Amino acid sequence: MYRVVFLGPPGAGKGTQASTLSRQLGIVHVSTGDLLRSAVAADTPLGREADGHMRAGRLVPDALVLKILHERISLPDARAGFILDGFPRNLPQAEALAAITPLDRVISFEVPSRVLVDRLVDRRVCPRCATVYNVRSHPPRNVGVCDRDGESLVQRPDDRLEAVTTRLKVYAEQTAPLLEYYRSRGLLHPIDATGSAEAVARRLRAALDKPEGSVDPG
């Protein structure tokens, strides 16, 4: 059973890896960022409340995120396992998650900040199918157009430099303390998330395939 959390700063490649790995393992990829962006696009009450926080690069209030997370991992397709991408983001969320489900592994994606900023400002996404591209490292076949459905690609509002700076600061202050939280529980597996997406995928599989209990000191 894979009940896995991907922990790492914005732009570390969590979504890119989760999308491929979830298909390979046949488990669900639960991205709280994607769930929130869908709520914003659908203009639901939750989406309207989340929108301003997200644009500014701040965390959305815990109660809102916990509600959508709980609803999503209670669906039958999450019984075979899941990858949580972008949740938990602070200590109260980690404690709430522990009360909902046990975890098998927490993968920490390690990337220097200067690489993160470049990856984020160069990211483009498809507003229809949410496929993620990068103008440098993973461009679409035709400039500005999604390979899958031909939709024009857009930049996420929170990938503008000002919001990126806030997101990195929020990560350092609120999310990074979770590394110690999970290390002390014997769940943390750090991986080097620099280099090509394929190289990162190989390190990720090695970390997931390690026998239980063989935890990296980090």
Please list the active-site residues. 14, 89, 123, 156, 167
| Phi, psi (deg, nearest 5) at residue 14 | -60, -50
**Which of 60, 73, 107, 204 forms a contact with ligand AP5 (CB under 6 A)?**
60
Regarding 84 and contact with ligand AP5 (CB under 6 A), the answer is: no
Nearer of residues 27 and 193 to ligand AP5, judged by Cβ: 193
Regarding 204 and contact with ligand AP5 (CB under 6 A), the answer is: no
Residues 20-49 vs ligand AP5: string with x where CB under 6 A?
-----------xxx--x-------------
**Which of 29, 72, 167, 203 forms a contact with ligand AP5 (CB under 6 A)?**
167
For residue 190, give the DSSP letter.
E
Find the part of the chain contacting ligand AP5 (CB under 6 A) among 12-20, 39-47, 99-107, 143-151: 12-20
Q: How far is CA 115 from CA 59, 108, 123, 132, 196, in A?
A: 22, 16, 12, 17, 12
For residue 90, give the DSSP letter.
S
**Which of 25, 145, 176, 197 forms a contact with ligand AP5 (CB under 6 A)?**
197
CA distance 152 to 8: 28
Reading phi first (left if > 0) and then psi (alpha if -120 to 50, else beta), residue 84 is in: beta
- Residue 83 sits at the vertex; the CA angle it makes with 132 and 181, to the nearest 5 degrees, is 115
> DSSP assignment of 118-168, as one string?
HHHHTEEE-TTT--EEETTTB--SSTTB-TTT-PBPB--GGGSHHHHHHHH
Regarding 182 and contact with ligand AP5 (CB under 6 A), the answer is: no
Nearer of residues 42 and 217 to ligand AP5, judged by Cβ: 42
Provide the binding-site residues for ligand AP5, judged by CB under 6 A.
Answer: 8, 10-16, 31-33, 36, 53-54, 57-60, 65, 86-87, 89, 93, 119-120, 123, 132-134, 137-138, 158, 167, 196-197, 200
